[in-house]
A = this chain, B = another copy of it.
Amino acid sequence: MEQNCDFLKLRRLGVDTHQEPVVYMRQDCHVAIAEGFTAQSRVEVCTEGHSTIASLALVSNDLLSHQEAAVSEAAWRLLGEPQDGERLSFRHARAVDSMSFVRGKLYGERFTQQTASAVIRDIKAGRYSDIQLSAFVTACAGDRLNLEETIALTEAMVASGQRFDWGSDNILDKHCVGGLPGNRTTPIVTAIVAANGLTMPKTSSRAITSPAGTADTMETMTRVQLEFEQMRRVVEQQGACLAWGGSVSLSPTDDIVIRVERALDLDSEGQLVASVISKKVAAGARQVLIDIPVGPTAKVRSADKARRLQQLLENTGAALGLQVRTLVTDGSQPIGRGIGPALEARDVLQVLMNDSQAPQDLREKSLCLAAEMLEMSASAAPGDGLAMARETLDSGRAMAKFRAICEAQGGFKQPQMAPHSHTICAEKHGVVAYFNNRFIARLASLAGAPTAPAAGMDVHVRLGDNVQAGSPLFTLYAQAPGELAYALEFLDGHTDVIRIEEETV
């Protein structure tokens, strides 16, 4: 009874379309004709054991035979990495029912636990096209999610992935809401906390719109793609890990959403809170410290915004059984020297090794955060956290713990530096009066960070520094000359990256 005419033979085309699955077939093959497929149809593709939804590209020439269908790398992975020649069947993809909840949201309806779960389930199953993902992200942007919706979304995201249970209530975590270039305190804080016998199963994101996330930085020094059981072993052995959240499948839809947010250069407050809290809950944390840098060009720009975000984080955390403490910090200038995965890793190592070149602002901020966490967990008495953190760092115990964590994750390596660089100098003498953090992040991104791990920039000055004409302000690093040129071109149109003002006595 089986009809052979419904099948095409798989060919792995070797085309990388990033995360969006694409299927290619002849526009005049029997399947395309029988099903009435057109270019960009959403189709369901099935092998014996797997299926996925893909966008269709139609081929009009001999690239493929009439019996073949080719799949992009993303589609090939979602189909369970089948062999060439395996039989594929096709049908129109069902309309994605949960998109009606996204449309409802646009017309003023609120997400409920049920509708948020339906959306997140469909996103996880790969049923949303890029156009649909973009509509979901956009519908949530502009502070359009209230507390109830944020909680609903957070719970749906936790439920969509795996979840750790460490059998204890004293599980710590930290997070920074971002927007401040170079603010790479996490590896240092984690090492100090774990060196004092506490548990900190740290998972981090890759960059959203910034030039580096903690996962990007850690990846220049060790393996961050840990399976669920690998991560469990590292934490049980060392008390902590520094892993990429996406690889352990904690809140897995977050990474899909993040890719679209990056393409739109858009961060929504509700999505941000759901992303942060869902990852912490799924990692098994019970107490979380959240760093909120505030400054005129940081992600959070006013005390009002910070307060709103604090409340949303604390209340969403509380609804999911997580004690959240927030710390509003100075976001008026970058932290540390480097911006970009490897350059920030170099700073982190200098601090951990008590190098005389280590950026003192990164050291002090890390100590301050670690102190809070030691006190939060009652390891240090109130007021004693800072001394305890400093001792841990100065004695080399933090560095030893950091290396041990890296070794447990698969080995420690030195971050690589970039082959191309260009230094920008002050045009006049004066005082450093202003940093545009957004332009700085943009410059480092244009130079190739985080895709090129060694790319980015070093900032050589701090607010209030006296500079002479010709003294270096910052250095750009790139893996390829094209990217360096691209960053330099941006500078042509945007001179106000670091402002020097002449002193008026």
A contact residues vs B (CB 8 Å cutoff): 13-18, 20, 22, 24, 27, 33-36, 38-40, 57-61, 63, 72-73, 91-92, 95, 99, 103, 106-108, 129-135, 137-139, 141-143, 260, 263-266, 442, 446, 448, 451-452, 455, 478-483, 486
Tell me if A135 and B266 are in contact (CB < 8 A): yes
Tell me if A35 and B480 are in contact (CB < 8 A): yes
Tell me if B36 and A451 are in contact (CB < 8 A): yes
Main secondary structure of the interface of A (DSSP, over half): mixed
Tell me if A92 and B482 are in contact (CB < 8 A): yes
Q: Find the B residue at minimum CB distance from A105.
A: B142
Q: Bound state CA distance, A108 and B141, in angstroms?
A: 11
Q: Which 6 A-B pairs have the closest CB atoms?
A: A14-B61, A134-B134, A106-B142, A138-B138, A18-B40, A35-B482
Tell me if B482 and A91 are in contact (CB < 8 A): yes
Tell me if A265 and B40 are in contact (CB < 8 A): no
Q: Given known contacts A14-B63, A106-B138, A132-B134, what 19 new A-B pairs fall within 8 Å (CB)? A: A13-B61, A14-B60, A15-B57, A15-B63, A16-B58, A17-B40, A20-B40, A36-B480, A63-B63, A106-B142, A106-B266, A107-B142, A107-B143, A108-B142, A131-B133, A131-B260, A131-B264, A135-B138, A135-B264
Q: Bound state CA distance, A169 and B135, in angstroms?
A: 42
Chain B residues with CB below 8 A from A16, complex form: 27, 39, 57-60
A131-B263, A134-B134 are contacts. A18–B39 as well, Cβ < 8 Å?
A: yes
Chain B residues with CB below 8 A from A22, complex form: 57
Q: Find the B residue at minimum CB distance from A129.
A: B263
Minimum CB–CB distance for A94 against chain B, Å? 9
Chain B residues with CB below 8 A from A15, complex form: 24, 57-60, 63
Minimum CB–CB distance for A382 against chain B, Å? 39
Q: Bound state CA distance, A263 and B448, in angstroms?
A: 33
Q: Bound state CA distance, A95 and B24, in angstroms?
A: 30
- 10 contacts across the A-B interface (CB closer than 8 A): A15-B58, A17-B39, A34-B481, A34-B482, A36-B451, A107-B142, A107-B143, A130-B134, A131-B133, A134-B134
Q: Bound state CA distance, A265 and B107, in angstroms?
A: 13
Q: Bound state CA distance, A22 and B61, in angstroms?
A: 17
Tell me if A72 and B59 are in contact (CB < 8 A): no
Tell me if B482 and A36 are in contact (CB < 8 A): yes
Tell me if A131 and B134 are in contact (CB < 8 A): yes
Q: Bound state CA distance, A455 and B35, in angstroms?
A: 13
Q: Bound state CA distance, A59 and B70, in angstroms?
A: 13
Chain B residues with CB below 8 A from A482, complex form: 34-36, 91-92
Tell me if A35 and B483 are in contact (CB < 8 A): yes
